[in-house]
Chains A and B, each alone.
Chain A
């Protein structure tokens, strides 16, 4: 990634960041930014690592719970903030090592990750009793944990970061994570990871330890998801076991498919747009239009969207747009290399993601 690419990404991100609050509510935007980070984590793990993790919610929920429990016990936010990155990453590394060293892949891996998330969902739902306490914090069962200290200016636990400032903070973290992920994909580790997605056996026969590399990639995805959970917790100010639930687990997959696996920007856009759609469908005004037999129930709508995309736009929005732009401007693609050099999927993704 060149300095120019970083600069242009930052400029575009800054414009988007300042324009969005003109049209949308900042609390919603903060939530969507957290979703986008969660989608980025799966976009990396699945789109580039070829690891279909159906339970990215496990690390997301874990991040949120770790943050809330630490914040309650310490009375300040920042140790929780960093633990919410660290512990999910560690958990992902252990889970990943068990799967990859056990030669688990494809659909089995998807099932195992989903089940792990659902186990956490079930467990958290059963912690309503008074005996479920960590330090001073009650786990709260299906009621979740409300009223934990939220992010504040470092060193001053009274100076909370909220509303617009929390939005800006979340957005900046999102952009930094995006840049970090792009940098990682451009590094030798990332390039070999993409090779691994393409042909695991080849990478192994070239002398690379596939298992260790997949575990590392999975842990990085876990760290991003954990951070997303922490940011969500700060926006929502309450966390519930739903964070581990099947509904969200499936939604993340839909975000990535709709936005486009194999890019980073696609899943982020998918998360924000579908997150907003779900919000609109949940509004009372919309519900009242259709009455009791609401045909626009979010799950149903998402299902239809997923089917339409798989039938008509299987690569997702962003890769398709990139494809059309590439066709419309053949001169530009040719200018980059010698002659009529076509760029590969991975090269395009690296350049445009």
Chain B
């Protein structure tokens, strides 16, 4: 991982991913400014998750360049990218089911803090996301929505400056989704955020700027109202395009 001149928090240039003959991402350029909140949308198979996996180091792009705060992240391991101060939430709630809510968040907090500091951060974080009453409960016993909240807690506890969220609203009730919006907006005070999402209602509540992916390319980028009002984007979602 090399450091170079820094522009945005995330700078992706010409990122392509090919699986055999299939091109999942086709030279995508993407820039995220500091403290920006960006939604990445697109129909199934548009390449959202593939791009997300490139950012988190799970996938290595076939071509192109990804810099996070100017650091070359192509070929870096997920733990190295997370270690930079990047908080990551995956699509399926990825939590430690056998452990308590408290322990889940503690392990996240301990990464960059002493044990005592971590204990303090855990208490604070559990209050903040509103699951302090289940602190001792094994996460595996919780309902899906609350497990999502726990995962938000693990992301928060690391005090990241860049947060990558893959479908944070999936499977949430309307009430829980509102809570998630509040949490994301609050996190945005301290961090730049990329949200990969499907749920249009959720995106309207959340984002200012939206990037639309379609067939591995960036279709359009702009303010949420403009983009969602764009007939081309509607066609893509309804499957009329091309």
Contacts and interface: CB of A to CB of B under 8 A. Distances in A.
A210 B82 CA distance: 12
Contacts of B110: 188, 191-192
Given A205-B56, A206-B107, A206-B111, A199 B94 contact: yes
What is the predominant secondary structure among interface residues of chain A facing chain B? Answer: helix
B96 A199 contact: yes
Contacts, number: 87
A86 to B, nearest CB: 29
B44 interface: no
Contact of B98 (A204, A207, A344): A344
A194 B99 contact: yes
A327 interface: no
B103 A344 contact: yes
A343 interface: yes
Contacts of A347: 100, 103, 136
B79 A345 contact: no
A206 B99 contact: no
Given A198-B98, A208-B111, A343-B100, 13 more contacts: A194-B98, A199-B94, A201-B94, A202-B96, A203-B107, A205-B79, A206-B82, A209-B77, A337-B136, A343-B136, A346-B98, A346-B99, A347-B100
Contact of B99 (A195, A204, A205, A209): A195
Interface string A184-202: 0000100110110111011
A4 interface: no
14 contacts: A191-B103, A192-B110, A194-B98, A194-B99, A198-B99, A199-B96, A203-B96, A204-B82, A206-B107, A210-B79, A338-B136, A344-B100, A344-B138, A347-B136
B106 interface: yes
B97 interface: yes
Interface residues of B, number: 30
A197 B104 CA distance: 13
B90 interface: yes
A341 interface: yes
B82 A344 contact: no
Interface in A294-353: 337-338, 341-347
Pairs of residues from A and B, 3 with the lowest C-beta to C-beta distance, nearest first: A198-B96, A207-B82, A207-B83
B205 interface: no
B94 A207 contact: no
Contacts of A344: 98-100, 103, 136-138
B153 to A, nearest CB: 12
B154 interface: yes
